[in-house]
Homo-oligomer: A and B are copies of this chain.
Amino acid sequence: MSSHGSSTPTVAIIGGGQLARMMAQSAVALGVPLRLLAEADGVSAAQVVPDTLVGDYRDLDTLRKVTDGCAVVTFDHEHVPTEHLHALADDGHACRPGPEALVHAQDKAVMRERLTALDVPCPRHAVVEDAEAVERFAASVGGFPVVLKTTRGGYDGKGVWVVGSAEESADAFATAEATGVRILAEEKVDFRRELSALVARSPSGQVAAYPVVESVQRDGICWEVVAPAPDLAAGLAVEAQQIAMKVAGELGVTGILAVELFETQDGRVLVNELAMRPHNTGHWSMDGAVTGQFENHLRAVLDLPLGSPDARAPWTVMVNILGGDDARLAGDLYAGYPHALARDPRLKVHLYGKSVKPGRKVGHVTAYGDDLEEVRERALHAAAWFRGDLGEESE
């Protein structure tokens, strides 16, 4: 019953998390209708997308049902089985990103092999079959500790172990055996900090590169992002953007590609992870860039010309709101508004409509301005307040 023009395409989004929710905001502005496959009733994006189907993204029939009639299929997460993506592509669906690209964000061993072949700088790595192989790998990179990762299925620090000896690799191999994935060993990089280079790439090959940002992790979860990365050498910033553009082009990524990087103590950048979807390290761009990552993701997957990724302010800081266990705000982020908004009329708050659990990403705040320390303080204060880490006396 909608009144869209005849050529207006419908975009299918697989996955009903906050990334799909924030895509929906941009889709409203662009006048592009969405169809959503949500994991369950009432999940984050299902609250805001009328045309929602609830079902399992691991079921091909469900995927076929939700994508029927949609011009483009895109994703809230990277967990759709590769063989289903191929089946959808064989059906004639424009999966963006497509399965050949997405596998590099799904399988860390495939990603490392491909990036190495492309001469993209990575930490030293090897697929390891057992504890002995871990021992040999450690010896080849100067000893323990080394990092073990499941090649598939990990996120937010899950499926990652830092081991100080071969014996400590037992958990990793037990997980591998239980889930049928392989284990990748990587050198533990002595990094100065973590960076992220985001690009949007369209099927026509247009690329828009966002300013390189610094990302601060705690317990494997993105905590704070500063745009642009402070005091980053111009040469390294360009190198990071060139890596992202090269990876996007060589792998044929469509939509947003996030390249998470280590900046080493000796002034190099090494690729840590790839994500082929809007990414937590790009949330700053919603309020801080001319074109936010969610709008550019939609423009890219629709093969529309991309928007400017330029920053609108000298500094933008995004801090995640993680669920705390403070009784005052437990389950009730809304109660945090009066103080947070009154303290800072320039603050931008994004809440995802998710129930609060300790450590769960339930929203983010963004501040921008001319003075980095002032901007950081505003964003950190607000996020801590919503998390419940500040008592009433901290007002």
Contacts and interface: CB of A to CB of B under 8 A. Distances in A.
A40 B28 CA distance: 18
Nearest to A33: B47
A345 B307 contact: yes
A50 interface: yes
Residue of A48, A50, A290, A363 most packed against chain B (CB within 10 A): A48
B353 A31 contact: yes
Nearest to A307: B345
A363 B47 CA distance: 25
A331 B28 contact: no
A348 B31 CA distance: 12
A394 to B, nearest CB: 17
Interface in A340-358: 341-342, 345-356
A189 to B, nearest CB: 35
Contacts of A347: 307
A387 interface: no
Given A6-B332, A52-B50, A334-B4, A31 B351 contact: yes
Nearest to A345: B308
Contacts of A348: 29
A58 interface: no
A306 to B, nearest CB: 7
A164 interface: no
Contact of A4 (B5, B29, B353): B353
A305 B345 contact: yes
A299 interface: yes
B363 A5 contact: no
Contacts of A4: 334, 353
Nearest to A1: B42
Contact of A334 (B7, B353, B355): B7
A350 B50 contact: no
A28 B33 contact: no
Given A3-B354, A5-B332, A363 B31 contact: yes
A49 to B, nearest CB: 7
Contact of A291 (B7, B312, B345, B353): B345
Residue of A2, A21, A307, A352 most packed against chain B (CB within 10 A): A2
Contacts of A305: 337-338, 341-342, 345
B28 A48 contact: yes
Contacts of A307: 341, 345-347
Given A28-B21, A49-B50, A349-B30, A356 B5 contact: yes
Given A307-B341, A345-B291, A331 B6 contact: yes
Contact of A7 (B43, B48, B335, B346): B335
A333 interface: yes
Given A345-B291, A353-B2, A304 B338 contact: yes
Interface of A: 1-9, 21-22, 24-25, 28-33, 40-43, 46-50, 52, 208, 290-291, 299, 304-308, 310, 312, 331-335, 337-338, 341-342, 345-356, 363
- Give the 3 A-B residue pairs with the shortest CB-CB distance, closest first: A31-B351, A1-B42, A5-B332
23 contacts: A2-B42, A4-B334, A8-B332, A8-B334, A9-B334, A21-B28, A24-B48, A28-B48, A29-B348, A30-B351, A31-B333, A33-B47, A47-B50, A48-B48, A49-B50, A50-B50, A50-B52, A304-B341, A305-B342, A307-B346, A307-B347, A308-B345, A312-B312
